[in-house]
Amino acid sequence: MNNSMPSKYNKNEKLCAELVAAIRNAPGGWLMIHHPLVVTLYPAPHAMLNGMLQHKKKAVVQAVTKKDWNSYIFLHERPYRVKAFQQIVKKLDDKNYWSLLGEIWTDSENIRQHLGWWKKVLWSPRPQRDFMMEPAERKFLRSLPKTLAVYRGCTQKHIEGLSWTLDKKLAVGFANRFAGLAEKVGIAHLVSGTCKKDDVIAFFNCREEREIVIDPRRVIGKTVERLA
């Protein structure tokens, strides 16, 4: 063991059963802890991992007690925030429902893995959906023309996704990310189309991606270009 490791992590402590059950194989021959509150490479000092889990569990209890639903969600690791949201959805008023959903969306890296769930929550009839966006994003969306040109960079399998962009060059850039992984994920494609502004669910620009969230059935005149 590394001699520079803090002494509190050097003790011979067993990994708790809850985390043992969460050990998974990962690409490259690695192992990972994949638990709703702890996602990290394994092995690592057991005392540290056990401490992380206990600390987060206490924080989750405190968040529930205080009805701090934002903290409750983001104490969970990214792959598990969808399930965490499901557990509290009935406790949220309309404004907080949409605001928290917007935060989960913009911090997500696995939208496709939960596509059915996203469709369900985004299609909710709850009012005040504008609160998914920040004030500047709402203002920008209102300023756009009634009909928008939108683009999506993806593989052919994922043409009907929810995330589009107003920026064609950016969509091409997203598509080309797949070019070197063709054997694993498929050939990159650029999808182009138009939509009505009134059909847009949300506009996000926190990552400067000029992202349009929309039901792909509402994107009309789609053309699909295979990128070399």
DSSP characters over 198-219: GG--EEE-TTS--EEE--GGG-
* Cβ–Cβ under 8 Å, residues 177 and 128: no
Q: What is the pLDDT of residue 142?
A: 98
Compute CA distances 160 → 27, 93, 123, whole Å. Answer: 27, 30, 16
Res 7: pLDDT:
46
10 Å CB burial of residue 140 (0-12, 13-18, 19+) is: middle
Extract the tokens encoding 133: 């966006």
Model pLDDT, residue 180: 55
Note whether 220 and 144 are same-domain residues: yes
Residues 95 and 154 in one domain: no
Q: How far apart are CA 171 and CA 192, in angstroms?
A: 9
81: alpha, beta or left, given left = phi > 0 and alpha = psi -120 to 50? alpha
201 and 172 within one domain: yes
Pairing, β 163-165 against β 211-213: antiparallel
Give pLDDT, residue 11: 65
* Whether residue 157 sits in one domain with residue 145: yes
Asked if residue 209 and residue 189 are part of one domain, the reply reads yes
d(CA 111, CA 152): 14
User: Are residues 145 and 99 located together in one domain of the fold?
Assistant: no
Note the pLDDT of residue 2.
Answer: 43
Which residues have CB under 8 Å from 6's CB, separation 6+? none
Query: Is residue 21 in some structural domain?
Result: no
Rg (CA), the chain: 21
DSSP state of 40: E
Same domain membership, residue 120 and residue 91? yes
Any domain includes 18: no
148 and 124 in a common domain: no
Q: Is residue 32 part of a domain?
A: no
Return the pLDDT at 176. Answer: 83
174: its two tokens: 């997203």
Regarding whether 166 and 106 lie in a shared domain, the answer is no
* Maximal CA-CA distance, the chain: 65
Per-residue pLDDT of the chain (228 residues; tens, 9 = 90+): 343 444 455 567 999 999 999 999 998 899 999 999 999 999 999 999 999 999 999 999 999 999 999 999 999 999 999 999 999 999 999 999 999 999 999 999 879 889 999 999 999 999 999 999 999 999 999 999 999 999 999 888 888 999 999 999 999 998 887 655 545 557 889 999 999 999 999 999 998 999 999 999 999 999 999 986
The residue range of the domain holding 94 is 67-129
**Domain check: are 145 and 219 in the same one?**
yes
User: Backbone phi, then psi, for 6, in 5-degree steps?
Assistant: -50, 140
**How many distinct structural domains can be found in the chain?**
2
Does some domain include residue 13?
no
Q: For residues 213 and 147, state if they share a domain.
A: yes
197 belongs to a structural domain? yes
Whole-prediction pTM: 0.88
Q: Which of 106, 129, 152 is the last residue of a domain?
A: 129
CB burial readout 25-52, b (16+ within 10 A) else e: eeeeeeebbbbbbbbeebeebbbebbeb
Q: Report DSSP state, residue 9.
A: G
